[in-house]
Amino acid sequence: MSLDQSAIQEITNTAITASAVNILDLEQADFKAVIIPEDAKIQTLEKLQQYRNRFIGCMKTNSIEDFVTYSTSTKNESVKCFVSHESMSAMTFFNIGDEDKPGHADNTALLDLKATSEFISVLKLNDNAVSQKTLAEWLEDWRSNIVAFDADDNAIDFKVAVNAIRKLTIESSRKSEHEVSDMKASRSLLENVEAKSTEGLPAYFTFMCTPYHGLAVRVFTLRLSVLTGGDEPRFKARIVQLEAIEEQITEEFKNLLVGKFEGSEVKTFIGKFSLN
């Protein structure tokens, strides 16, 4: 008597299941499970239970206070918080465990700091060439955050500074030189382009804002340069030492969390953690 493919598969599944029952003591497991004959998989019954086998999930927030409250709500010596210097975020792992008893690291809390509208705006302006109109309107939009200065570090009246930017003009002068000799004739044309404005054009200005919600107020210095390559002048404002300031902001973020976690079991690190 020959057996078809389905009969052979059924005999195989029965044999594998019987062998697995002998090997696995499911009654001693931390949670209930059954052996499924198809492909001999072990399947948890968690979805049919009233409660889950263990607490897992990810709490997400933009609030530092809520993140700290949630992170310190459980007493566990292995709780660790990793602060990212790239994305201004922090993640707490409640079941990361240790070398002796490594955990699954799937019960977490994520803090994702949001940049303020002021900080986003000044970063967008940074090191980009803009027209007179664009710069003047930007300054007027954020006038409460801005102080303009001349090259001698003297403060300039805000209206005077904006008007100087609006009225800036480009003047061009040409000088022609002609030389004739027995062997050659040459002609050169020299052009001098200069940006001229009424008094009050700022050399730089400061921009005061809170870069991220929950962090301290900072003052950014933006150097102003005039581009005269076209028919109309364009401006470029560059934040001085932006990279160094960003490092300081990250350090402030970490120190803030360390201070708020003081007295709790949470340990804080700069960096990111992922399971291999």
Tens digit of pLDDT for each residue in 194-247? Answer: 555 556 789 999 999 999 999 999 999 999 999 887 778 899 999 999 999 999
Q: Give the whole-number percent of the chain exceeding pLDDT 70.
A: 74
Whether the pLDDT of residue 56 is over 90: the answer is no
pLDDT band at 190 (very low <50, low <70, confident <90, very high): very low
Q: What is the pTM of this model?
A: 0.72
Residue 177 — pLDDT band, cuts 50, 70, 90? Answer: very low
- Using the predicted structure, report yes or no on whether residue 158 has a pLDDT greater than 80: yes
Give the domain ranges of the chain.
1-53, 117-241
What is the three-state SS of the chain? Answer: CCCCHHHHHHHHHHHHHHHHHHHCCHHHCCCCEEEECHHHEEEECHHHCCCCCCCCEEEEECCHHHHHHHHCCCCCCCCEEEEECCCCEEEEECCCECCCCECCCCEEEEEECCECHHHHHHHHHCCCEEEHHHHHHHHHHCHHHEEEECCCCCEECHHHHHHHHHCCEEEEEEEEEEEECCCCEEEEEEEEEEEECCCCCCCEEEEEECCECCCCCEEEEEEEEEECCCCCCEEEEEECCHHHHHHHHHHHHHHHHHHHHCCCCCEEEECCCCCC
